[in-house]
């Protein structure tokens, strides 16, 4: 076997339309539509986090499930 070509992408630079959050894949699983045809956008890590949070919330029909996951996984702090 001979490798003749490859591409590497920084995940945070893939456009929003190229990344989807599919709950059927399991917790925290992102899906890239077609890695051979992606659009790259300039985005900070913070912008990327906001984008995937938004995708998670939309896929679970609201903020409640995101908040439960965020507390369970220590993404946010509570006074408790």
Domain ranges for the chain, please list them: 11-72
* pTM of the predicted model as reported, rounded to 2 decimal places: 0.74
Chain center to CA of 40: 15
pLDDT reported for residue 46: 94
CB-based contact 56:48 (threshold 8 Å): no
pLDDT reported for residue 2: 94
Gap between the Cα atoms of 78 and 71, Å rounded: 8
Structure confidence at residue 14 as a pLDDT band (50, 70, 90)? very high
Please tell me whether residue 30 adopts helix, strand or coil conformation: strand
């Amino acid at each position: 076997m001979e490798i003749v070509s490859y591409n590497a992408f920084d995940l945070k630079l893939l456009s929003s339309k190229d990344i989807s959050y599919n709950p059927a894949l399991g917790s925290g699983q992102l899906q890239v539509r077609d890695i051979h045809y992606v659009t790259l956008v300039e985005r900070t890590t913070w912008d990327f986090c906001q984008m995937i949070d938004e995708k998670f919330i939309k896929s679970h029909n609201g903020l409640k499930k995101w908040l439960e996951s965020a507390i369970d996984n220590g993404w946010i702090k509570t006074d408790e």
